[in-house]
Amino acid sequence: MAEQIEFDQAHQTLQEVSDALDNGRFVFVRRQLQSMEPEDIAHLLEASPRKSREVLWQLTDPEDYGEILDELSEDVKDNLVSKMAPGKLAEATEGMDTDDVAYVLRSLPNKVSREVLSQMDAADRLRVETALSYPEDTAGGIMNTDVTTIRGDVDIDVVLRYMRMKGELPEATDTLYVIDDDDRLIGNLSLTTLLTTQPDVPVIEVMSHADEAIAVDLSDTDVASLFERRNWVSAPVVDQNQHLVGRITIDDVVDIIREDAEHSMMSLAGLDDDEDTFAPVVKSARRRSIWLGVNVLAALAAASVSNMFEATLEQMAAIAVLMTIVPSMGGVAGNQTVALVIRGLALGYIGDSNRKELLMKEAAIGFLNGILWALIIGAIVVFWKHDWMLGFIISAAMLTNLFVAGVAGVTIPVILKKMNIDPALAGGMALTTITDVVGLSVFLGLATIFLL
């Protein structure tokens, strides 16, 4: 009888294993690991601090290594693989998908990866070498080469007998590929069609024509986007001569979809997509300090603006007190627009045809919210500082800055994209710099003109 899954179980196991590790109860941990599914061990490794992770890896049954490596994120995978002997690694690759073996080998020093290759059996080696010949962020890099092909001129009955003779089909097979005499892809026969068709019908009559095959050099992001839109479970990959070279399955695509979607958030914060939650301190600190360095320039730009108005600040401390409010509101409003535009660009919703509409819309939103918050902040400042002119000045600066934020929030990511700079990486920082500089200039400038 089916047992319903206790979802919190994973966290409980994590806690138990972690306690047992701390107390040196390695036998218990080893037994726990033996009773777990490879994908759950992968999750446990991801959630473990570096040191425990290495101990856990030692205690894991090497038979599971391949399947576990398949599931790990890149940073964590690299870390564990870098400590394995080539012989052990070659053994582990037996349980892995071709594309994942290729990934692991790419991250190794050339000498080690050649050694691993030399210890694999000939058929596997050929497959992996084929995968290695494609760039890793293309269809060729993520495809598997274990396709099941049939001829179009045979009857369904023959296919059924062929299947039983094979005795096993590659994982996640939902379609057989129909090829012609030159190994060119001419159609797909889904397993459901195969099962529901009468035995004496020729394949060519019921197959669907392969009008949509993935080109081997299509980027992985475009592959993911196609899978998502077409609701595919698997898809054939062809080279420029329409020869079938492999197939891509949804499980590899799901990882790309998640990584692409996470990319925006991580990049906006200046992080690597596959930053390991438990990366070593010094490595993380170095990576992140680069981003802080960029922000130092932004912060110094803002300070230089204030510096131009030093005389004004000297005469009225109230201005210094209030001067952070307008940049702050502009930054928040602009980053809302940036987030929306970055998602729109990533999903392909924004192009030449609708950019103007979007700009008008965001400018209008900036203007409306500008009026609202200009009135509110103006009123607060008049009550607080008992100075009508100061209230008027901060209102004018607020309205200007929120309008600029809306316009810049659309134009910055779009321009960055045109310049082939990742808008998710540079967009938020560039926006904040602009809203800081504009907000401070307008507020301090007006104050200098009208208050002194």
On the CB side of 246, how many CA atoms lie within 13 Å of its CA? 21
Torsion from C-alpha of 148, 154, 160, 165, nearest 10 degrees: -70
Taking alpha carbons only, the member of 193, 205, 251, 200 closest to residue 227 is 251
CB of 118 vs a second copy, minimal distance in Å: 30
Taking alpha carbons only, the member of 229, 213, 141 closest to residue 175 is 213
Binding status of residue 185 toward a second copy by CB under 8 A: yes
Smaller CB separation from a second copy, 266 or 421: 266
Binding status of residue 317 toward a second copy by CB under 8 A: yes
CB of 294 vs a second copy, minimal distance in Å: 9
Query: According to CB under 8 A, which one of 298, 375, 415, 451 is a site residue for a second copy?
Result: 298
According to DSSP, the residues that pair with 249 across neighbouring strands are 234
* Beta carbons of 329 and 373 less than 8 angstroms apart: yes
Residues of this chain, 225-254, that bind a second copy according to CB under 8 A:
226-231, 233, 236, 238, 240, 242, 250-251, 254
* Beta carbons of 247 and 143 less than 8 angstroms apart: yes
CB of 383 vs a second copy, minimal distance in Å: 12
The set of residues, in sequence order, having a beta carbon less than 8 Å from that of 398 and lying 6+ positions away, is 325, 326, 329, 370, 373, 374, 377, 378
d(CA 158, CA 287): 58
* Beta carbons of 443 and 326 less than 8 angstroms apart: yes
d(CA 436, CA 296): 13
Smaller CB separation from a second copy, 40 or 136: 40
Number of C-beta neighbours around residue 116 at 10 A: 25
Query: According to CB under 8 A, which one of 85, 126, 300, 449 is a site residue for a second copy?
Result: 300
Binding status of residue 49 toward a second copy by CB under 8 A: yes
Binding status of residue 314 toward a second copy by CB under 8 A: yes
Smaller CB separation from a second copy, 122 or 290: 290
CB of 250 vs a second copy, minimal distance in Å: 5
Smaller CB separation from a second copy, 282 or 419: 282
What DSSP character marks residue 36?
S
Binding status of residue 306 toward a second copy by CB under 8 A: yes
Size of interface with a second copy, in residues (CB under 8 A): 144
3-state DSSP assignment of residue 151? strand
Binding map of a second copy across residues 337-356, x = CB under 8 A, - = no contact: -xxx-xxx--xxxxxxxx--
Binding status of residue 358 toward a second copy by CB under 8 A: yes
Binding status of residue 138 toward a second copy by CB under 8 A: no
CB of 125 vs a second copy, minimal distance in Å: 25
* Beta carbons of 403 and 363 less than 8 angstroms apart: yes
Q: Is 88 exposed, middle or buried (0-12, 13-18, 19+ CB in 10 A)?
A: middle
Q: Is 286 exposed, middle or buried (0-12, 13-18, 19+ CB in 10 A)?
A: exposed
CB of 327 vs a second copy, minimal distance in Å: 8
Largest CA distance in the chain: 96
Smaller CB separation from a second copy, 169 or 389: 169
CB of 183 vs a second copy, minimal distance in Å: 12
Residues of this chain, 364-383, that bind a second copy according to CB under 8 A:
364-365, 368-369, 372-373, 376-377, 380
Binding status of residue 19 toward a second copy by CB under 8 A: yes
CB of 445 vs a second copy, minimal distance in Å: 15
Binding map of a second copy across residues 268-297, x = CB under 8 A, - = no contact: xxxx---x-xxx-xx-xx--xx-xx--xx-
Residues of this chain, 201-230, that bind a second copy according to CB under 8 A:
210-215, 218, 222, 226-230
* Beta carbons of 185 and 213 less than 8 angstroms apart: yes
- Binding part of the chain for a second copy, among 34-42, 78-86, 108-116, 119-127 by CB under 8 A, reads 34-42
Residues of this chain, 117-136, that bind a second copy according to CB under 8 A:
none
Residues of this chain, 396-435, that bind a second copy according to CB under 8 A:
none
Q: Which two tokens stand for residue 371?
A: 């009026």
Query: According to CB under 8 A, which one of 9, 15, 58, 208 is a site residue for a second copy?
Result: 15
Smaller CB separation from a second copy, 62 or 348: 348
CB of 75 vs a second copy, minimal distance in Å: 12
Binding status of residue 137 toward a second copy by CB under 8 A: no
Distances (CA, A) of 427 to 89, 275, 294: 41, 20, 12
Query: According to CB under 8 A, which one of 35, 110, 122, 195 is a site residue for a second copy?
Result: 195
d(CA 249, CA 136): 16
